[in-house]
Structure 1
Amino acid sequence: MGRSHALSGWVAGLAVAPLVGLTSVAEVVPFAAATAGYALVPDLDHPGASASRFLGPLTGLISAVVRRFSGALYSLTKGPRDEDGTGRHRHASHTLVAAIGLGFLAASLGDRGKWAVLAVALAGLLLAVHVLGDWLLAAVVGAGAWTVFGAALPGTTAADALQAGLSGIGGWIGVAVGLGMFTHCLGDSLTRSGCPWLWPLPIRGETWYELRLPKLLRFRTGGWVERLLIAPALLAAGVLLLPGVYPFIISTISDGETTQSVHRIFSGLFSWNV
């Protein structure tokens, strides 16, 4: 489900960007890309996940630590009706607490310098590229070039624009991390297994209560619903939410000549002789 998680993070980033004051392509694209990458991070608790295999032994080691921590936390906090399982996958890293905590940690890195913030943003970007492909890297590089060269104010240098860009990242990187992780949890709540993202709130005797859709609406991870419905819908939304795309489509459709042309095409297609 890695690709769907990354796409959902991309869509969430595009949707939330205006709410945190990001409106231009140069701002929105890096934010959405980082959100897409951090939408994969909760699955560090699974050894076969994209995030766990991303940097080979390094992320593999991080994955092992996350799994052990998650298992220990589950043993300490499980309620009387929680399952008698290991608590390693879809537990500690799949909670709102983890999303908020890591989001605040990423935001606090601004105190350690702009390059620390940039490192966090690049980690999210490269993880997203690892799953979604090089097109995302090209998009972010293009947006970054626009920030440095195209958006520089008269009388400023490229170095000044770059510094401004790094300062801008510090303003949103914590939101990107937290939003991406929480988006992952919401995605898992659509599946048959559900996701206990409201931990440690006890529900029906369970501290790790799996939130999920009604039975008829749940889908299997990697099944046809995800591949044929969920992923294409996310991809379409990921294009429509790019700055300027939806208004352009609406203005094009509402144009009188375009509407008449489409009408003539369809009239011709369905004007059969009987």
Structure 2
Amino acid sequence: MGSTHAASGALAGVAVAAVAGGALVDLAACGLVGAGAALLPDLDHPESTATRSQGPASQGLSRAVRAASSAVWRATRAPGDDGGLHDGLGRHRHLTHTLPACAAAGVVCGAAASTVPGAAVVLWVLVSLGLRGLGQCVRGQRRAALSSWLTVSLAALLVTGVVLGVAPPHPVLLGAVVAAGALVHVLGDWATSAGVPLAWPLMVRGKRWWMFRSPLAFRAGDGAWQERVLRWACGLGAPALCVWAMMG
């Protein structure tokens, strides 16, 4: 669901920037940052776009995230918790797919962006991740080109330079976009049959990691029409919202 998450994150990023009254540069930058942030929760999966995005560096981060998720699951699990269907150890779709984790991601990225070097790193990492995720929406040979690490990295570097040179985003705005991007990822996974632990750390029916699912849940990765509709709606909604915000 990488492309769908990225598209929904782009829409969320644009929406946050529009509410903040951002200019066109802010809307575009926040859209790309939101797209990248919407892929962050899947750092808890060894084969996700986020995990593979920066080679050994992101793979090492993924291992640390999975270990932390499993440790928190073991420390907070109730007798009825089983660790999930993926590995039984509380790694994938556990800690990073909670509401506190979304908020924490926003706080960490916002704090890091309080300095120019920190803002540059946050922008480059998330924009490159967002471009990679959005590039998955494209089919054929263009998809391969848009997935190239060098191409994506250089494009993200260009975007970062322009944004910092023209209109550096406020750290609070950047943090809010990251939190919103992570949140729409969690809500997107709530729409699937595997569900997400929306109530953690509260107890629900004897479980602290109760997996909430949409009444109309679909299986992720099966090419469900619901996912295609969501991807198209968000993909078209982000630029439409940019135009509306500028006209308003």
Q: TM-score, normalised by structure 2?
A: 0.82
Counterpart residue identity of residue 89, structure 2:
T
1:37-59 per-position Cα deviation (integer Å, ceiling 9, x unaligned): 01000000000100001111111
Match of 1:184 in 2: 185
Q: Does residue 171 of structure 2 align to residue 173 of structure 1?
A: no
Contact 2:18/2:245 (<8 A) preserved: no
Q: Does residue 98 of structure 2 align to residue 95 of structure 1?
A: yes
Q: CA deviation at 1:245?
A: 7.9
> CA 1:165 to 1:171, structure 2 compared with 1: closer, same or farther past 3 Å?
farther
Counterpart residue identity of residue 43, structure 2:
L
Tell which deviates more after alignment, 196-205 or 69-78: 196-205
Match of 1:27 in 2: 26
Which structure has the bigger radius of gyration?
A: 1
Match of 2:36 in 1: 37
Separation in 2, partners of 1:4, 1:198: 24
**Uncovered stretches (5+) of structure 1, i.e. residues with no partner:** 149-161, 249-274
Separation in 2, partners of 1:101, 1:39: 14
1:171-222 per-position Cα deviation (integer Å, ceiling 9, x unaligned): 41111211111111010000001111331011111111112111xx111112
Q: CA deviation at 1:109?
A: 2.2
Identity %: 34
Counterpart residue identity of residue 180, structure 2:
L
Q: CA deviation at 1:28?
A: 0.7
Contact 1:25/1:143 (<8 A) preserved: no
Q: Does residue 112 of structure 2 align to residue 109 of structure 1?
A: yes
Match of 1:228 in 2: 228
Contact 1:30/1:140 (<8 A) preserved: no
Q: CA deviation at 1:230?
A: 2.2
Match of 1:121 in 2: 123
Contact 1:239/1:245 (<8 A) preserved: no
Separation in 2, partners of 1:126, 1:139: 5
Within-5 A mapping of 1:133-172: 133=135, 134=146, 145=162, 162=165, 165-166=167-168, 168-172=169-173
Counterpart residue identity of residue 25, structure 1:
L
CA RMSD of aligned residues (A): 2.7
The structure whose RCO (Cα within 8 Å, separation 6+) is larger is 2
Q: CA deviation at 1:105?
A: 1.6
Q: CA deviation at 1:141?
A: 5.4
Match of 1:259 in 2: none
> CA 1:143 to 1:174, structure 2 compared with 1: closer, same or farther past 3 Å?
closer
> CA 1:228 to 1:109, structure 2 compared with 1: closer, same or farther past 3 Å?
closer
Match of 1:72 in 2: 71
Q: Does residue 46 of structure 2 align to residue 60 of structure 1?
A: no
